[in-house]
Amino acid sequence: MENLEEAVEKVLNGDSAAFGQIVEATSPRLVRMSARMLGSVQDAEDVVQDSYVKAYRSLQNGQFDRRAKVETWLYRIVVNTTLDAKRSKARSKTTASDQLEQAGGWESVAAADARVALREMSAWLDRLPEEQRTVLWLKTIEGLESAEVAAILGCSEGAVEQRLVRARAALREKRSDGR
């Protein structure tokens, strides 16, 4: 998206409000993506917020070298932060947001359905090793191209395809075991 590059330029020139445009344009997709992995919108909001703070800090420190597109760079930060959160969530088992959501923090039936689906999605992905899970998450669920996934994960497109094949094989196996 061309506007994102322009917004980054503005942020680099001292217009911190332009960062709000970046957040506005990218957060719907990033929060949904993170929520699908974490199984919780609240956890995803926390993770994506941390990711934006990291991104802003990187921009201020001149660490964004612009070799990647802004969107790809943001995806990379959110994916890494989400995976870190997933690991620590697995260690602590239940988070405060789980308790809040279980207590009825959501307002509508549709939202409650989505919450259940998010948990199912997260559990569905948990059946795979992290490496395969991440590729399946980004490529099949989020619909990114192999080249984009490779850029986000810092590996080759071949590695992405290979992990995807393994992920599908593992899921088929688990599915047939489950019957």
Partner 1 sequence: MSTRHEREPDAIVRESNRHAIDPERDAIDPELDRLIAATRAVAAGADFTTRVMTAVENEGTPMFDRPTRHALTLAMLVAVVALFMAERSARAYDDTLVSTYDESAAELAW
Binding site for partner 1 (CB under 8 A): 12-14, 16, 19-20, 23-24, 27-28, 31-32, 35-36, 41, 44-45, 48-49, 52-53, 56-57, 60, 62, 110, 113-114, 117-118, 120-121, 124, 140-141, 143, 165, 168, 171-172, 175
Shortest Å distance, C-beta 37 to partner 1: 11
Closer residue to partner 1, CB minimum distance, 13 or 154: 13
Shortest Å distance, C-beta 135 to partner 1: 13
CA distances from 128 to 80, 81, 136, 138, 173 (A): 17, 19, 9, 14, 11
Closer residue to partner 1, CB minimum distance, 19 or 89: 19
Closer residue to partner 1, CB minimum distance, 38 or 91: 38
What's the CA gap between 55 and 77, in Å, rounded?
A: 7
Instruction: Assign 131 to helix, strand or coil.
Output: helix
Instruction: Assign 82 to helix, strand or coil.
Output: helix
Closer residue to partner 1, CB minimum distance, 35 or 150: 35
Residue pair 51/77 in contact by the 8 Å Cβ criterion: yes
Tokens of 140: 């099949």
